[in-house]
Structure 1
Amino acid sequence: MSDTTSHDVVVIGAGAAGLSAVREALNAGLSAAWLEAQMFGGLVLNVNELDGAIAGSGAELSSTWMTDAMEAGGENLEAVASAIERDGDALVVVSDAGRHRARAVIVASGAALKKLGVPGEAELEYKGVSHCADCDGPMFEGQDVVVVGGGDSALQSAMVLSKFCGNVHLVHRGDTFRAQPHWVEAVKGAGNVKVHWHSEVSEVVGTDGVEGARVNGEVIPCSGFFAFVGLKPSSEFLPAEIERDAFGAVKASDAMETSMPGVFAAGIVRSGCGGTLEDAVADGQAAARAVAAKLGALQGA
């Protein structure tokens, strides 16, 4: 397989951190391209109403980021990264579309929703098991659904689903929510959101579609199942020499550089990054500035 592209910097990931890094690199006069395993925009793409300092529709914001990056001269490689290799002084990002040479790489691959790992969850994916309340809520009009989790994503999704569904069963293993107070109050005030404290799901029940969820040994009948129990950093494809913490997030220096020289990390895949959208944007910008500074120093050496 021959090299297909060559850029100053290749960014792995087209979410908030990745596209922010691309735009910042282009502003610094570097040639930049990006790869994305899923849809551009990352986890915010499917959020209809963003909750935080950056407001608006996640889909619209993601589209704006992508348009801005392309209009500024960035290249969408339309590929999925599978490895990073060193080739002399250069780095090569290996993908399903070829090999992409770069003077520096920014890993902004984000994170994926964790799975519960219970029987029926994988088998009924897209058959009632969903990960996007905004996208799929209308499919469950008048029906009962189960939401698992106690953080912002779970409670916000429960409230979205409450507008469409008959009953929303919110299953949480603890006795208090971790979500922001306004989401807690919203759930308390929703007449069709039923909270199940100290509860865990052991099975998603169904054959051709979701029929129920086994909670503390008892089956709660439902047609839809949504689990929001945390995120898993998307770092599996990275070489072993890139150090990671106990959760799989990439370790990086204050200059955003990983233990593999020339490879930087930004966004939720980076150990220590905050969990907000504005944190991801700031991380991407900082990583690109660090790349520009390093490449500029090497150019002048």
Structure 2
Amino acid sequence: MIRLSGVTKTFPVHRKSGLIRRTRSLVTAVDGMTFEVERGEFVGYLGPNGAGKSTTIKMLTGILTASGGEIRVAGLDPSRRRKELARRIGVVFGQRTTLWWDLPLGDSFALIRHLYKVDQKRFAGRLDELTELLELAPFLQTPVRQLSLGQRMRGDLTAALLHSPELLVLDEPTIGLDVVSKAAVREFLARINAEEGTTILLTTHDLGDIERLCRRVMVIDHGRLTFDGALEELRATASADRILIVDLASPGPLAPPTGTRLIRREGPRVWLAVPADVSAASAVAEVAGAHDVRDIALREPDIEDVVTRLYQGSPVQA
């Protein structure tokens, strides 16, 4: 569905030099990016601010033209066949809306039908389906400007999917949403990926989206791909500690097992850090053999900690 080969994107930057003169330099936003996304995949695309995520998305959708390399989306060159590509993809930018601000939500959908030249019968069936899935029926006659952020986001998702695109590109789709709205959007995205086979590329700073939705994760930093693999592989790449939580039968001293360290303790409960190169099974056995234990649990590294370590250039395991 998506193929990038050696893609670069540079932007000219003009800086003031003296009272009148200005100097021109080039800034590289994307540097030799190469990856493929197969049909039906749900991929998370992560990176810190300024890493090149949005630039990549704009090149994939034809908004920007690559400075070098080759891009194909659904077999098309996005910059040369932008109109044809637009009929085969859907795009949602969380901080911008594709809906008409002063029109009722339903009227925005009707206009979008004409833009994409969707058959009336097909449009009606698709709209009914999406309205039910996203619970939009009470808001179809409400002007977009009067919708809450969560309601508008569900409207934007509907607008992006009315023409049944093969690829859905999402840029921060849950930004600013409350817990209930986030859950509704996540459930919907998982459903259309599983049931309709829609390929989804998701960029977000909300790592809860990644943990709940994505089977594959790509991490970009300074315009280069620094990681591409499964979520569990990402956890293993940055050597973040696992947390062993031990509930003793009664408060008392506990010597940390070999290779672990004590984080804190509250009464009979003790938290131990277990580095990636230390066997959790051995640590559990050592604790259980030396103490009267009521309960014990191992918590995997939080994905946010893992990605932060990756951004900061922590050493990776071989």
* TM-score bracket for the superposition, by shorter chain length: under 0.3
More helix by share: 2
Q: TM-score, normalised by structure 1?
A: 0.24
Q: Which has the larger radius of gyration?
A: 2
Larger RCO of the pair (alpha carbons < 8 Å, separation 6+): 1
